[in-house]
Structure 1
Amino acid sequence: MAKQITHDLTYDAPASAVYAMLTDAAFREEVCDRSGVLRHDVTVSGGDLTNSATVRIQQWQSATGIPSFAKKLVGEEIEIIQEETWTSPTECDVKVTIPGKPGEMSGSVRLVEEAGATTEHIEMTITVRLPLVSGKVESLIADMLKKSLRVENTVGREYLAR
């Protein structure tokens, strides 16, 4: 089984500005800092409006506060690698892995501009390959993803208002 997540983030800015933000390493680092990750490494290549871009975010999060059944699986820290391949300034493929763990997320991001505002439409599939607890772990990851997206949206709105 897998869990499907669809989530929209809105910004009062054109799609070109949102794309520039999402492919700015400083923005991604600020999101990591505000999300409370223990440490992170962000790399971006490409990113101007005529080319594709790749974004790679490697981060380590504390396992503090997650249920004990999940903490037994991941230990004290959770390493997460997010890789985005922007095939255009409005389309992106996303893959998130947890090295050495039996789970991943994959999906897409699409930027849709209407009347000067942009919606970042995110569709992700969460897959965990663990007998008996995969559904619980997928739901836990979905909740963590939604929390992370709320932080990204807050930081993004502030970034675009500067």
Structure 2
Amino acid sequence: MCAMRFQQTATYDAPVADVFAMLTDPAWREKVGVAQGVVSSDVTVTPEGTEGRRVVIDQVQDTEGLPAIAKKIAGPTTRAIVTEVWSSPTTGTIEILAPGKPTKAVGTVSLVADGDRTRHVTDLEVTVKVPILGGKLEQVMADNIGRGLEVEQAVGVAWLEGDR
């Protein structure tokens, strides 16, 4: 089985330092979870090295709306642990795991200055180790991650405009 490549970019009208501060703010992460409709969420942010941060989001998500085959594997809810390790304010790694499930997504996150704006790039390899159906389920997982990142961006735009 091969992994599916997934990349998504969010653009914010703010400098890199402001976007990094937002991405590593537990209050913002909690607000994103509420907007995504998660069942529960626990967010931990700790220093990483001299200028980085480790962000761990442990959440329970409702699987309503997923295709029947995905719900059969996941159940009515699924737990996702998202770990972002920012080695600096512009570069990090990301890992999305569902304990006890044959799924994972690993890759990188980066913040790129673009004039007065910042691009937040998420680049992942999505893997679902299920014979025959793995590729289809990887697409379902990538689509679900993409929808989550779209909500994250909407909350981020509002946050940077002062909606806290």
Aligned-pair CA distance for 1:56: 0.2
Match in the other structure for 1:7: 8
What letter corresponds to residue 127 of structure 1 in structure 2?
T
- Write the distance in 1 (CA, Å) between the matches of 2:122 and 2:111: 9
Match in the other structure for 1:33: 34
* Structure-to-structure mapping, 1:51-90, within 5 angstroms: 51-90=51-90
- Write the distance in 1 (CA, Å) between the matches of 2:121 and 2:67: 29
The 1:114/1:65 distance shift into structure 2, 3 A limit, reads closer
Q: Give the TM-score normalised by structure 1.
A: 0.96
- Write the distance in 2 (CA, Å) between the matches of 1:73 and 1:115: 44
Q: How many percent of aligned residue pairs carry the same amino acid?
A: 39
Segments ≥4 residues shifted beyond 2 Å:
none
- Write the distance in 2 (CA, Å) between the matches of 1:139 and 1:108: 19
- Write the distance in 2 (CA, Å) between the matches of 1:23 and 1:131: 37
What number of residue pairs does the alignment pair up? 161
What letter corresponds to residue 66 of structure 1 in structure 2?
L
Aligned-pair CA distance for 1:114: 2.0
Match in the other structure for 2:143: 143
Aligned-pair CA distance for 1:67: 1.4
What letter corresponds to residue 7 of structure 2 in structure 1?
T
- Write the distance in 1 (CA, Å) between the matches of 2:63 and 2:88: 35
- Write the distance in 2 (CA, Å) between the matches of 1:126 and 1:97: 10
What letter corresponds to residue 139 of structure 1 in structure 2?
Q
Q: Give the TM-score normalised by structure 2.
A: 0.95
Question: Any unmatched runs of 5+ in structure 2?
Answer: none
SS in 2 for 1:88: coil
Aligned-pair CA distance for 1:31: 0.3
SS in 1 for 2:19: helix
- Write the distance in 1 (CA, Å) between the matches of 2:67 and 2:117: 38
- Write the distance in 2 (CA, Å) between the matches of 1:6 and 1:41: 25
Aligned-pair CA distance for 1:46: 2.2
What letter corresponds to residue 15 of structure 2 in structure 1?
P
Q: CA offsets per residue over residues 104-127 of structure 1, 9 Å max, x none?
A: 000111101121110011101101
What letter corresponds to residue 100 of structure 2 in structure 1?
G
Aligned-pair CA distance for 1:88: 0.3
What letter corresponds to residue 10 of structure 1 in structure 2?
T
Match in the other structure for 1:126: 126
SS in 2 for 1:147: helix
- Write the distance in 2 (CA, Å) between the matches of 1:5 and 1:101: 20
- Write the distance in 2 (CA, Å) between the matches of 1:152 and 1:63: 18
What letter corresponds to residue 160 of structure 1 in structure 2?
L
